Amino acid sequence: MNTTPYIDYTSCIEACLLCASSCNFCASACTQEEDVNKMAKCIRTDMECAAICYTAAELMSLGSSRAAEICRLCAEICDECASECEKHAHRHCQECAEACRNCAAECREMAIM
């Protein structure tokens, strides 16, 4: 008999995948901005955030015992990315920040389950 409680990660996985996609788009779009050097931190933060979001989604889909731990870290990195993106008026940065904030909230909620 399996005594491991079932946790529905669906909402958090979807938020992570949307965030990763938004971060990748933002990073790519930032490379096309007029002063790309001003966007370097945003690009780097976007890439780090996308990487942790993909990792969190994959571990949740595997039912990993480390999912909550990774989601706590993912929430922190998403908050950092959102803070950086919010500094820029570009639409792609603002949309990325919103996706990051949503993902951070979902990951924090999942991490306390």
Q: DSSP assignment, residue 34?
A: T
pLDDT in tens, the chain (113 residues): 444 455 789 999 999 999 999 999 999 999 999 999 999 999 999 999 999 999 999 999 999 999 999 999 999 999 999 999 999 999 999 999 999 999 999 999 998 87
Longest dimension (CA), the chain: 60
Q: Is the pTM of this model over 0.85?
A: yes
Query: What's the pLDDT score for residue 7?
Result: 72
Tell me which of 1.10.10.10, 3.20.20.100, 2.40.110.10, 1.20.1270.360 is the CATH number of domain 26-111. Answer: 1.20.1270.360
What is the model's pLDDT at position 2?
46
Query: Under a CB-based contact definition with an 8 Å cutoff, are residues 18 and 53 in contact?
Result: no
